[in-house]
Chains A and B, each alone.
Chain A
């Protein structure tokens, strides 16, 4: 009995080793799923699951004041809507993201065009303009706080007494300029990569056809940069909606909450132990990002294909 079992099991391998393997689809043998599973498990466990939980906890009274968690419906959303923080956070974050993306890309593109040719001089200054990327956003924030403080370096050089970080209207713009400053080096690198990808004979052809530098830029380079623009604008817009460090270090959300973006609000409210309320804001951030990201990616992709 045992003998036959062993023999039947061994039979296929006796008939030819790859047969049992050969029945499986090729990909399953050559690129087995288990290479991807650890990554999928970690990503699901520590990224997707918390995001799914984030659709439940905003509807509870989870806080540091209760031992257990009860369902409360829309109470948290009502609270943040009634005290005005909801709309303010949405508006502030969207303005921040838009301006930060404009500055980051504008600075990056100008730098890339200035430093396009591969000379030793240009390579050195590319590294110089990349330095701010290497300094942490928190440190960047403190550097600019010291520069822009009413007693700080800028006022002392200009001989003025301007409260750069004290305006409820303009401070938000200044903070986004700092954000653009910090990330311009990365945008520059990506635009440089895009510029490098433009075939030389195409520029040559434009030159022979009599196009000047402006015409060449708008008719050849700029359209050819579309993939770099897509990548840069998307990452800048979405990334800056998740901003925290620069704002916390320069203004802490002030003056009068005029720079209080989503993450600053969450940080402050979480510190007060109002976890469910912070989680409600986190859910709103998620929805706002999705609402911005999907049309943005679809639109920019379409633009790339048109050109």
Chain B
């Protein structure tokens, strides 16, 4: 290893991290602590007058942050749970059975990885089912959209699990349900961690589908609220509130990542790159 690379590499990493990640995050942090007058022109200066508490309190009150947080939880958590459980069941069958019908069903179920969801006709269908603007409707849409991701990752993972583990349990008289809950699901833990992080991330951040399905109003999720706060920006100039909102909205995802961090890499390795 050449000495240039030895010292140049960490220096380059530090420089890149500072410019590419540090600067944007710094901007968010300082702006969210500034009074409105200072935040009108967003810059990298430290606040002359610090008022983070007031800004975050304002974002909580004006941005209806608590309601948005609750609404987000109420659609994201059930969606993720359904995606994982339904996806694991399907992946198990797809990984273990071999027939044309199984391959066809598998191909169909992972087609969602490539095909775009038809968002306009989803709205039409939900209206006919009486689910437009409701949380169950939103959960159904997210589950349908992200099932492909979890089925794809989990099927690849299950194929790598030796069949003997299941067979041993079967010799002891375990039923398929028992094998699924007691053997397959626990073995899936690393890939479940990956899928949880990915699906939570997508659903937590989604604003596009939430616009069409939920609209604004009482059931608005956090991103929808952020959009409203930021759209009011045009005449209110409230960068300080926008960025206070951004911080609060991002922290749960950072927490989810920190908890599952080690497993996300192993899950991606086995699922995507093999």
A22 smallest CB distance to B (angstroms): 14
Known: A33-B93, A35-B90, A131-B21. A275 touches B143 (CB 8 A): no
Partner of A38, one of B40, B42, B86: B86
A97 smallest CB distance to B (angstroms): 12
Within 8 A of A (CB), among B129-174: 140-141, 143-145, 147-148, 151, 166, 170
Q: Which residue of A lies closest to B207 (CB)?
A: A138
Contact stretch, chosen from A4-12, A167-175, A263-271: A263-271
CB pair B254–A131 under 8 Å, yes or no, is yes
CB pair A143–B212 under 8 Å, yes or no, is no
CB pair B93–A35 under 8 Å, yes or no, is yes
Known: A50-B121, A136-B205, A263-B208. A43 touches B112 (CB 8 A): yes
| Interface 0/1 of B233-271, CB less than 8 Å to A | 000000100110010011001100100010011001100
Instruction: Please report the total number of B residues contacting A with Cβ < 8 Å.
Output: 90
Assess whether B35 is interfacial by the CB under 8 Å rule: no
CB pair A42–B269 under 8 Å, yes or no, is no
B199 smallest CB distance to A (angstroms): 14
CB pair B120–A143 under 8 Å, yes or no, is no
Assess whether A227 is interfacial by the CB under 8 Å rule: yes
* Cα–Cα distance between A142 and B249 once the two chains are bound (Å): 13
* Cα–Cα distance between A43 and B89 once the two chains are bound (Å): 13
Known: A31-B93, A151-B41. A42 touches B140 (CB 8 A): yes
| Interface 0/1 of A37-48, CB less than 8 Å to B | 011101111111
Assess whether A231 is interfacial by the CB under 8 Å rule: yes
Q: Is the interface of A mostly helix, strand, loop or mixed?
A: helix
Residues in B with CB closer than 8 Å to A146 are 27, 31, 42, 239, 243
CB pair B272–A153 under 8 Å, yes or no, is no
| Interface 0/1 of B71-96, CB less than 8 Å to A | 00000000000100011011011101
Assess whether B98 is interfacial by the CB under 8 Å rule: yes
CB pair A152–B176 under 8 Å, yes or no, is no
CB pair A134–B180 under 8 Å, yes or no, is no
Partner of A30, one of B17, B94, B141, B170: B170
CB pair A135–B253 under 8 Å, yes or no, is yes
Q: Can you list 11 A-B contacts with CB-CB less than 8 angstroms, sorted by A residue number? A: A27-B97, A35-B89, A40-B108, A40-B109, A47-B144, A51-B117, A136-B205, A142-B246, A181-B20, A193-B268, A290-B114
- For the complex of A and B, the 8 pairs showing the least CB-CB separation, nearest first, are A46-B144, A136-B205, A39-B90, A54-B118, A146-B42, A35-B89, A39-B86, A36-B93
